[in-house]
Amino acid sequence: MCALTAGQRGRRVLVVEHANRVGKKILMSGGGRCNFTNTGTGPGNFLSANPHFCKSALARYTPSDFIGLVEKHGIAYHEKELGQLFCDESSKQIVRMLLDECAAAGVRIETGCSIGRVASGDGGFAVESACGTFAAQSLAVASGGLSIPSMGASGFGYELARQFGHTVLPTRAGLVPLTLSGTHSERLQDLSGVSLPVEAECNGQSFRNAMLVTHRGVSGPSILQISSYWRPGDDLRLDLLPGQDALAFLQAQRQARPAAELKSALAEALPKRFAQRLCEIWFDNKPMRRYGERELRDIAAQLRRWPLVASGTEGYRTAEVTLGGVDTHELSSATMESKRMPGLYFIGEVVDVTGWLGGYNFQWAWASGHAAGEAV
Ligand SMILES: Cc1cc2nc3c(=O)[nH]c(=O)nc-3n(C[C@H](O)[C@H](O)[C@H](O)COP(=O)(O)OP(=O)(O)OC[C@H]3O[C@@H](n4cnc5c(N)ncnc54)[C@H](O)[C@@H]3O)c2cc1C
């Protein structure tokens, strides 16, 4: 996005990519259909030590701008849920679109080209690479985060930032499955594959969506979302009957099916195996008519704030994003230019701006890339 925007302004642009092709994360994103934006994107959908930083770029390159580009290229798309837009066919179309725009703007792209030393001087930069040494007035670092090393992710951008005196805020895996250990794992492990809607809550943030039990712990959109707000030791709670009044539900079950046991009553609202497990470990299982009001209140309270004791995350191997990164206090929010080194820009995921699940991370990549592309 940065390259094509700068190219359209008549700048001579070279993209240096060390992988054998560009846009690998676009290709693998959204299950191969690329959730390329979210129509509801706003600054509140991002995590950053400086929540105001993303506002300017997001306001100047909006989801509508990107949708306009997608439509110009005749790419069919649909909304899945919650403003998330996906290609009808393939994420390859998004990469093709960006490459076509780059070609039209005269952008040169070198793939399979690893970068060595980067030096500054004489009002510009000298970039030593496997395909030669390049001199440039401006250098935009779009090297992404640490997630999925097998796709070409590297700490290159962070190292370069440090080289030019930038602070890099501690990085950690985000939008990542959580792992369970010990008894917490044993209690759920054999339910692997079971999925249910929950509202996950941690540190004042909550997300209502599906949770999936895995062999190693829990995943699914609600867990991926909340993982970005969770750190080991933090209290993490699940509402197992989101959007429902748990007490009213239990009272209604007692009224309608007094002889039914709690596990069958709960199975009306939860997956059967999950309901059964709750009654084996957490609740006393007996016919509904034998529950007093206080007991029902107690069960309802537990269903609303069920504690999930996670031991960690699956880490960068499976994380969709990397939290932290280049400190935004040292970048211009209008252009993404370094305040320490004129001509140096940081865009996309390498910057300490991380979106929720749902197309926000690409929208940040497009918007920050566009902001820098107009300035380089
Ligand atoms: C499995 C998965 C699915 C995802 N799905 C979505 C989704 O549907 N919607 C969404 O909004 N976000 C999604 N994301 C997040 C999104 O892919 C990233 O936030 C986004 O790609 C960041 O863009 P970027 O340009 O900053 O970095 P990247 O897309 O990571 O690109 C960085 C590029 O720099 C190259 N590079 C790295 N180091 C060097 C080096 N030393 N020299 C030269 N080149 C280098 C890499 O090879 C790579 O091509 C997903 C992520 C993953 C892992």
Per-residue pLDDT tens over the stretch 292-324: 999 999 999 999 999 999 999 999 999 999 999
3-state secondary structure of 218: strand
Taking 90 as the threshold, does the pLDDT of residue 164 lie above it?
Answer: yes
Best residue among 58, 143, 224 to mutate for probing ligand 1's pocket (most ligand atoms within 8 Å of CB) is 143
Token pair listed for 140: 């935009």
**Phi, psi angle pair for 201, to nearest 5°:** -130, 135
The predicted pLDDT at position 177 comes to 98
Please identify, by atom number, the ligand 1 atom nearest to the C-alpha of residue 154: 38
Taking 90 as the threshold, does the pLDDT of residue 342 lie above it?
Answer: yes
**Phi, psi angle pair for 174, to nearest 5°:** -125, 165
What's the CATH number for 2-172+321-373? Answer: 3.50.50.60
Taking 90 as the threshold, does the pLDDT of residue 121 lie above it?
Answer: no
The distance from CA 221 to its chain's CA centroid, rounded to whole angstroms, is 10
pLDDT band at 154 (very low <50, low <70, confident <90, very high): confident
178-313 belongs to CATH 2.40.30.10: yes
Please name the residue whose Cα sits nearest to atom 6 of ligand 1.
29
The predicted pLDDT at position 62 comes to 98
- pTM of the entire predicted model: 0.97
Pocket of ligand 1 contains residue 368 by CB under 6 Å: no
The predicted pLDDT at position 149 comes to 86
Average model confidence (pLDDT) across the chain: 97
How far, CA to CA in Å, does 99 sit from each of 31, 112, 134, 229?
A: 21, 16, 21, 35
The predicted pLDDT at position 236 comes to 98
Pocket of ligand 1 contains residue 155 by CB under 6 Å: no
Taking 90 as the threshold, does the pLDDT of residue 75 lie above it?
Answer: yes
Domain with CATH 2.40.30.10 in the chain: 178-313
The predicted pLDDT at position 151 comes to 81
Pocket of ligand 1 contains residue 147 by CB under 6 Å: yes
The percentage of residues in the chain with a pLDDT greater than 70, rounded to a whole number, is: 100
When comparing pLDDT for 151 and 118, which is higher? 118
Residue type, 186: E
pLDDT band at 56 (very low <50, low <70, confident <90, very high): very high
Taking 90 as the threshold, does the pLDDT of residue 209 lie above it?
Answer: yes
Domain with CATH 3.50.50.60 in the chain: 2-172+321-373
Element (H, E) at 16: strand 14-16
b/e 175-191 (16+ beta carbons within 10 angstroms → b): bbbbbbeeebbebbeeb
